[in-house]
């Protein structure tokens, strides 16, 4: 079920659209990245990491595009710490009820570095979103990176600030 509209107005600044309380944007953020295909052994490590970040109250920024990233978001949203969700498309006009609820609690900030004309996620927008998140984060944690995949290629440019799980 999708709500007709978000109750919080989106704000645009410096080419970025923000929906929700912008306070998490100024916090130290850890970006979480993970390839779409993940070995089973890494899945539990990612869940444990998400729970540890949640319990520590750390702000995590992620895309929630792959299933594992969606699962990590699910674990994070069980806590009270701030979370930043970065879209690989323009700002959604409709939000899932669980996201809208967290935005209304002022603990979830949804960010889009794309024009509202970008309606679909593509390989290119996902790669651009991931690079944007790496550039905005104080730390980057990688649940798993497929050799030669888009995350692997991105991380080669930022190897000094990346921690694998």
The pLDDT tens digits for 14-41 are 889 999 999 999 999 999 999 989 999 9
Partnered with residue 139 across adjacent β-strands are 30
Check whether 1 has a pLDDT greater than 50: no
pLDDT of residue 10: 84
Check whether 157 has a pLDDT greater than 90: no
The domain that holds 86 is classified in CATH as: 3.40.50.450
The pLDDT tens digits for 125-140 are 999 999 999 999 999 9
What H or E segment, with its residue span, contains residue 11? strand 10-13
pLDDT confidence of 4, banded at 50, 70, 90?
A: very low
In-domain check, residue 5:
no
- The count of C-alpha atoms lying within 13 angstroms of the C-alpha of 138, restricted to the half-sphere facing its C-beta, is 9
How many other CB atoms sit within 10 Å of the CB of residue 129?
21
Pick the closest to residue 25 from 33, 16, 34 (CA basis): 16
Domain total in the chain: 1
pLDDT of residue 65: 86
Q: Which segment of 54-58, 87-91, 100-104, 156-160 scores lowest on mean pLDDT?
A: 156-160
Domain span at 130:
10-159
39 in Cβ contact with 9 (< 8 Å)? no
64 in Cβ contact with 95 (< 8 Å)? no
DSSP assignment string, 81-119: S-EEEE-SSSPPSS--HHHHHHHHTT-EEEEE-S-TT--
In-domain check, residue 1:
no
The set of residues, in sequence order, having a beta carbon less than 8 Å from that of 153 and lying 6+ positions away, is none
pLDDT of residue 6: 52
**Residue-averaged pLDDT of the chain:** 90
In-domain check, residue 154:
yes
Which of helix, strand or coil describes residue 16? strand
Check whether 163 has a pLDDT greater than 90: no
In-domain check, residue 38:
yes
């Amino acid at each position: 079920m999708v709500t007709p509209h978000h109750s919080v107005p989106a704000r645009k600044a410096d080419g970025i659209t923000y929906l929700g309380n912008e306070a998490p944007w100024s916090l130290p953020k850890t970006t979480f990245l993970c390839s779409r295909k993940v070995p089973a052994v890494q899945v539990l490590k990612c869940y444990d990491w998400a729970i540890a970040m949640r319990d520590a109250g750390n702000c995590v920024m992620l895309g929630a595009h792959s299933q594992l990233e969606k699962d990590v978001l699910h674990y994070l949203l069980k806590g009270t710490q701030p979370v930043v969700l970065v879209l690989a498309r323009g700002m959604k006009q409709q939000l899932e009820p669980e996201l809208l609820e967290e935005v209304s609690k002022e603990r979830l900030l949804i960010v889009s570095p794309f024009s509202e004309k970008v309606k679909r996620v593509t390989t290119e927008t996902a790669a651009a979103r991931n690079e944007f998140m790496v550039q905005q984060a104080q730390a980057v944690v990688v649940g798993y990176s497929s050799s030669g995949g888009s995350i692997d290629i991105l991380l080669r440019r930022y190897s000094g600030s990346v921690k694998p799980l």
